Structure 1
Amino acid sequence: MSRFRTFSDALKEKYGEKVYKVPIALARTCPNRDGLISDEGCIFCGSIGAGYEKKADVPVKEQLLEGISHIGPKYKAKKFIAYFLNFTNTYMPLDVFEKSMEEACQVEGIVALDISTRPDCINDAYLEVLDRIRQTYHVDITVELGLQSANAHTLAILNRCHTVAEFIDAALHIGRYGFGLCTHIIADLPWDDRLDVVEAAKLVSVLPVTEVKLHSLFVVKGTRLAEEFEAGRVRLLPLDEYIHRVVLFLAYVRPDIVMQRIVGRAAGENILKVNGGEPWWVVRDMIDAEMEQKNIYQGTMCRYINGPAVRQFAPAEEK
């Protein structure tokens, strides 16, 4: 039995069977890349985003059908999540956004939409569209937000061009609609310390976050981070520190939050460094081993919610 709440188990509980994500690329960009707020992008973000741009001009329905035709027979899957993955998927005209979401829902087997975006690209008008789509097509909705760090100084170094405040605002707006909310955290940022990791765990736990993706810092060729790394101006933390920080995060995070991942999966010639050079499954096993050695379960240290200092005075049912 896992010591943390896994994504695969959560999907099985909800849908009664395995469910697989099918990635979709839209022909869009990001306000942090096109000059609206910056033309540099995040220092770790490559020019090809998540690597699916070659599909961006293919209609959403066609992308999904192609993905399902591969994934379905391979895993005997019947239910799928349409995953709008690349760049910022709410950064587009409202009518274009609505059309893209609706097109995904019209594919047989789609039970949910997963939309990846930025905290400063969450607006009630777009959430209203998603709410109408949820009711019309009877699909679940999850919004993914990159936070990466709970430290405003680190966010500035990363050139995220938003602070923690924008993330909190976006999370609260999404929570009012009852959508799933997945937050991305980079656990081994060299500008963060362990206290920042604990703060990130606490931050997502007191907000309506339902899922978290943890991963190591990717160094991708052609990025400003890669330039700094190769020049020796940025040094990555050792793998054992990443392991320690992930376990620390899991100890403090709310126990019901689903951990979509605890280690990044990256391959290909564009990746200079990630996970200390180890395969993702080796890192996962190291995390499992440390949790077992220290007898830590997800939420072991989650004792800070709902006014712990006055629980001694609260009625028994509220303690």
Structure 2
Amino acid sequence: MERYRNYSDYLKGKYGEKVYKIPISLPVTCPNRDGLLSDKACIFCGSIGADYETKAVGLSITQQLNRSMAHVGPKYKAKKFIAYFLNFTNTYAPLDRFRAWMEEAMNHPDVVGIDISTRPDCIHEAYLDILKELSEKYGKDVTIELGLQSSNVHTLSILNRCHTVPEFIDAALRIGRYGFGLCIHIIADLPWDDRLDVIESAKLISVLPVTEVKLHSLYIVKGTKLAQMYEKGEVSLLPMDEYLERVALFLAYMRPDIVPQRIVGRASGNNTLSVNGGSPWWEVKDRIEKLLEERNITQGCLCNYLDGRAVRKFVKNS
């Protein structure tokens, strides 16, 4: 029995065959790095963003796609791919450059869709209009990934996110009006959050037009503000058992149709001081699934708080 929706199966059902995501690196930065909002970045964000291969620097989008497809296509038996714009804030660019990048990716014959990682305060109709136009022109799907991390405004301030929950809600609603996929990033074991915060995050994304979610633990990237805090003893990571409990809670309260792209993250050991408590990602995943089985938890089993819960008894066939 599957306890939560499987992303690989979801893609296969949607496209009729195996689909693999190909990370793409663009020459972009972030308003939280270049001085517009802050020059310090989020405390967990490293100098190369999401730890994507620096070998991609200088290569065109087509070259990056072709290189990765030649490697992962035979390995994973995939012939169709999603171009995943991964690093930093991929809608933080002049409109003409943004259009050219998105069109180059969508024009690739083996790309079925694009996936764009960005921030809530970098969502504007001008960019969404471009994506809608190109999506219809090339018949390719669009998913936008927003980093929320926490629904607790005090935690967001500690993380130096430089946005709060209202900006996230505004961005999610705007994306939803265009009919794009919407994936939300959540760090489930932030030490400044408690389990109620995790439940609140699950509820928040469940009332918005969210289609996918990514969960991962807080890991320490070398050279970051968080790494400095960690080495000085100013912050301690929660035990992995607590991460397992929080993921189980999150899944239980999350809307059952949302697709978890992942329930545990992975990062290069060469670039981190700590990740997943030192356990391999697949081991953490297995432990989560064992916990779900032991507790008889399925995705959405506690998602009973929507649609006027208190007055359903007065409504026929409720």
Structure-to-structure mapping, 1:61-140, within 5 angstroms: 61-140=62-141
Aligned to 2:51: 51
Q: d(CA) in 2 for partners of 1:48 and 1:308?
A: 45
Q: d(CA) in 1 for partners of 2:230 and 2:277?
A: 14
- 2:220–2:273 contact (8 Å) kept in structure 1: yes
Q: d(CA) in 1 for partners of 2:180 and 2:94?
A: 21
Q: d(CA) in 2 for partners of 1:299 and 1:117?
A: 27
Q: d(CA) in 2 for partners of 1:33 and 1:232?
A: 25
Structure-to-structure mapping, 1:175-254, within 5 angstroms: 175-254=176-255
Q: CA deviation at 1:298?
A: 0.2
Aligned to 1:8: 8
Q: Any idea what the Cα deviations from partners look like across 1:173-225, whole Å, max 9, x if unmatched?
A: 00000100000000000000000000000000000000000000010100000
Q: CA deviation at 1:55?
A: 1.4
Where structure 2 has 5 or more consecutive residues not aligned to the other structure, the ranges are none
Where 1:135 maps in the other structure, the secondary structure is helix
Q: TM-score, with normalisation over the residues of structure 2? A: 0.98
Q: What percent of counterpart residues are identical?
A: 67
- 1:26–1:57 contact (8 Å) kept in structure 2: no
Where 1:29 maps in the other structure, the secondary structure is coil
Q: CA deviation at 1:36?
A: 0.6
Q: CA deviation at 1:315?
A: 2.9
Q: CA deviation at 1:313?
A: 1.2
Q: d(CA) in 1 for partners of 2:152 and 2:218?
A: 15
- 1:247–1:287 contact (8 Å) kept in structure 2: yes
| Runs of 4 or more above 6 Å deviation | none
Paired amino acid for 1:129:
I
Aligned to 1:141: 142
Q: TM-score, with normalisation over the residues of structure 1? A: 0.98
Where 2:269 maps in the other structure, the secondary structure is coil
Aligned residue pairs, count? 317
- 2:25–2:86 contact (8 Å) kept in structure 1: yes
Where structure 1 has 5 or more consecutive residues not aligned to the other structure, the ranges are none
Q: Any idea what the Cα deviations from partners look like across 1:69-94, whole Å, max 9, x if unmatched?
A: 11112222111000000000000001
Paired amino acid for 2:24:
I
Aligned to 1:293: 294
RMSD of equivalent CA atoms:
0.8
Paired amino acid for 1:294:
R
